[in-house]
Chain A
Amino acid sequence: MKPPALLRVRGLHVELGSPERPVRAVDGIDLDVRPGETLALLGESGCGKSMTAFGVMRLLPPSGRITAGRVLFDDQDLLALPEREMRAVRGGSLGMIFQEPMTSLNPVMRIGDQIAESIRLHDKENLHRPRERAVELLEAVGIPDPRRRVDEYPHQLSGGMKQRVMVAIALAGQPRLLIADEPTTALDVTIQAQVLSLLKDLRQRTGMAVLLISHDLGVVAETADRVAVMYAGQLVEVCDAETFFSRPAHPYGRKLFSSLPTFGKRGRELEIIPGMVPPLDSDFSGCRFADRCDFFQDDCRVGEPAWRDLEDGHSVRCIHPRGGPLEPASDGERTTRQWMPGQALLDVDDLKVHFPIHKGVLRRVKGYVKAVDGVSLRLDSSHTLALVGESGCGKTTVGKGILRLIQPTAGRVLFDGDDLAGLSAGALRKRRADMQIIFQDPAASMNPRMPVGEIVAEGLRAQGLGGNREARQRRVAELLEQVGLPADSARRYPHEFSGGQRQRICVARALAVEPKLIVCDEPTSALDVSVQAQILNLFTELQQRLKLSYLFITHDISVVSFIAHEVAVMYLGRIVEQGRVDEVLDQPKHPYTLALLSAVPVIDSDQRREVIRLEGDMPSPANPPTGCHFHPRCAYAMPVCRERYPDISRISASHTAACWLLEQD
Chain B
Amino acid sequence: MTPVILSTDALLFLLLAGVAAFVWHARRHEHLRRPWRHVARSNIGMATAVILLAYVSLGVLDSMHFESRGGMASDDIISLFDVVASDLRERQEKTYSAPFSAWLYTKETLELPDGRVARGYPRLKWGGASLDDPLAERAADIARRALLGLLQALALSAVVYLPLAWSRGRRQRVAVPAMLRGFFIERRGETAWPAFNITLVALLLCGFVMASLAGEYHLFGTDKVGEDVFYQALKSIRTGLLIGTLTTLVMLPAALFLGILAGYFRGWVDDLVQYLYTTLSSIPGVLLIAAAILMLQVYMSEHAEEFNSLVQRADLRLLFLCVILGITSWTTLCRLLRGETLKLRELEYVQAAQAFGVRGLTIISRHILPNTMHIVLISIVLDFSGLVLAEAVLAYVNIGVDPTMNSWGNMINSARLELAREPIVWWSLAAAFVFMFVLVLAANLFADVVRDAFDPRLGRGRG
Stretch in contact with the other chain, from A380-388, A435-443, A604-612: A435-443
Q: A432 to B356, Cβ gap below 8 A? A: yes
| Per-residue contact bits, chain A 459-502, to B (CB 8 Å; 1 contact, 0 not) | 10011000000000000000000000000000001010000000
Q: A495 to B463, Cβ gap below 8 A? A: yes
Q: B462 to A448, Cβ gap below 8 A? A: yes
**Total interface residues on B, using CB and 8 Å?**
23
Name the residue on B nearest A496 (C-beta).
B30
Residues 427-447 of A contacting B (Cβ, < 8 Å): 428-430, 432-433, 435-437, 439-441, 444-447
Q: A429 to B357, Cβ gap below 8 A? A: yes
Q: A513 to B30, Cβ gap below 8 A? A: no
Name the A residues within 8 Å of B53 (CB-CB).
Answer: none
Q: A430 to B357, Cβ gap below 8 A? A: yes
Residues 334-359 of B contacting A (Cβ, < 8 Å): 347-349, 351-359
Is B89 among interface residues, defined by CB-CB distance under 8 A? Answer: no
Q: Chain B interface secondary structure, helix, strand, loop or mixed?
A: helix
Q: A439 to B351, Cβ gap below 8 A? A: yes
Instruction: State whether A437 and B351 are in contact (beta carbons under 8 Å apart), knowing that A447-B371, A449-B371, A495-B462 are contacts in the complex.
Output: yes
Q: A458 to B353, Cβ gap below 8 A? A: yes
Is B370 among interface residues, defined by CB-CB distance under 8 A? Answer: yes
Is B69 among interface residues, defined by CB-CB distance under 8 A? Answer: no
Name the residue on B nearest A426 (C-beta).
B357
Is B31 among interface residues, defined by CB-CB distance under 8 A? Answer: yes
Minimum Cβ distance to chain B for residue A443 (Å): 9
**Total interface residues on A, using CB and 8 Å?**
31
Name the A residues within 8 Å of B416 (CB-CB).
Answer: none
Is B224 among interface residues, defined by CB-CB distance under 8 A? Answer: no
Q: A444 to B356, Cβ gap below 8 A? A: no
Is B125 among interface residues, defined by CB-CB distance under 8 A? Answer: no
**A495–B371 alpha-carbon span in the complex (Å):** 15
Q: A436 to B355, Cβ gap below 8 A? A: yes
Is B313 among interface residues, defined by CB-CB distance under 8 A? Answer: no
Minimum Cβ distance to chain B for residue A343 (Å): 24
Name the residue on A nearest B371 (C-beta).
A449
Is A403 among interface residues, defined by CB-CB distance under 8 A? Answer: yes
Name the residue on A nearest B30 (C-beta).
A493
Q: B31 to A448, Cβ gap below 8 A? A: yes
Q: B353 to A446, Cβ gap below 8 A? A: no
Minimum Cβ distance to chain B for residue A632 (Å): 31
Instruction: State whether A445 and B352 are in contact (beta carbons under 8 Å apart), knowing that A430-B357, A432-B357, A493-B30 are contacts in the complex.
Output: yes
Q: B351 to A405, Cβ gap below 8 A? A: yes
Residues 369-405 of B contacting A (Cβ, < 8 Å): 370-371
Q: B349 to A432, Cβ gap below 8 A? A: no
**A95–B400 alpha-carbon span in the complex (Å):** 62
Partner of B355, one of A437, A446, A449, A455: A437
Q: A458 to B356, Cβ gap below 8 A? A: yes
**A428–B359 alpha-carbon span in the complex (Å):** 12
Instruction: State whether A513 and B356 are in contact (beta carbons under 8 Å apart), knowing that A448-B371, A449-B31, A449-B371 are contacts in the complex.
Output: yes
Is A509 among interface residues, defined by CB-CB distance under 8 A? Answer: yes
Is B123 among interface residues, defined by CB-CB distance under 8 A? Answer: no
Q: B357 to A462, Cβ gap below 8 A? A: yes
Name the residue on B nearest A449 (C-beta).
B370
Partner of B31, one of A428, A441, A446, A493: A493
Residues 309-368 of B contacting A (Cβ, < 8 Å): 347-349, 351-359, 362, 366-367
Residues 401-426 of A contacting B (Cβ, < 8 Å): 403, 405
Q: A445 to B370, Cβ gap below 8 A? A: no
Name the residue on A nearest B351 (C-beta).
A405
**A493–B347 alpha-carbon span in the complex (Å):** 18
Q: A444 to B347, Cβ gap below 8 A? A: yes
Partner of B352, one of A440, A448, A449, A509: A509
**A23–B80 alpha-carbon span in the complex (Å):** 55
**A32–B86 alpha-carbon span in the complex (Å):** 82
Q: B349 to A445, Cβ gap below 8 A? A: yes
Instruction: State whether A463 and B355 are in contact (beta carbons under 8 Å apart), knowing that A444-B348, A445-B348, A448-B462 are contacts in the complex.
Output: no
Partner of A439, one of B352, B353, B356, B357: B352
Name the A residues within 8 Å of B352 (CB-CB).
Answer: 437, 439, 445-446, 458, 506, 509
**A83–B115 alpha-carbon span in the complex (Å):** 86
Q: A463 to B356, Cβ gap below 8 A? A: yes
Name the residue on B nearest A455 (C-beta).
B349
Minimum Cβ distance to chain B for residue A437 (Å): 5
Name the A residues within 8 Å of B370 (CB-CB).
Answer: 447, 449
Name the B residues within 8 Å of A432 (CB-CB).
Answer: 355-357
Name the A residues within 8 Å of B367 (CB-CB).
Answer: 447
Name the A residues within 8 Å of B30 (CB-CB).
Answer: 493
Name the residue on A nearest B346 (C-beta).
A444
Name the A residues within 8 Å of B359 (CB-CB).
Answer: 429, 462
Partner of A405, one of B347, B355, B366: B355
Name the B residues within 8 Å of A439 (CB-CB).
Answer: 348, 351-352
Minimum Cβ distance to chain A for residue B240 (Å): 33
Partner of B356, one of A462, A493, A506: A462
Name the A residues within 8 Å of B351 (CB-CB).
Answer: 400, 405, 437, 439, 445
Q: Which 5 A-B pairs have the closest CB atoms?
A: A445-B348, A429-B357, A432-B357, A439-B348, A459-B356
- 9 other contacts beyond A444-B349, A458-B352, A493-B31, with CB at 8 A cut-off? A432-B356, A441-B348, A444-B348, A445-B347, A447-B371, A448-B31, A455-B349, A462-B359, A513-B356
23 A-B residue contacts at CB 8 Å? A400-B351, A405-B354, A405-B355, A429-B359, A430-B357, A432-B357, A433-B356, A436-B356, A439-B348, A439-B351, A444-B349, A445-B347, A445-B349, A445-B352, A447-B370, A448-B462, A449-B32, A449-B370, A458-B358, A462-B358, A462-B362, A495-B462, A495-B463
Q: Using a CB–CB distance below 8 Å, which chain B residues touch chain A?
A: 29-32, 347-349, 351-359, 362, 366-367, 370-371, 462-463
Q: Using a CB–CB distance below 8 Å, which chain A residues touch chain B?
A: 400, 403, 405, 428-430, 432-433, 435-437, 439-441, 444-450, 455, 458-459, 462-463, 493, 495, 506, 509, 513
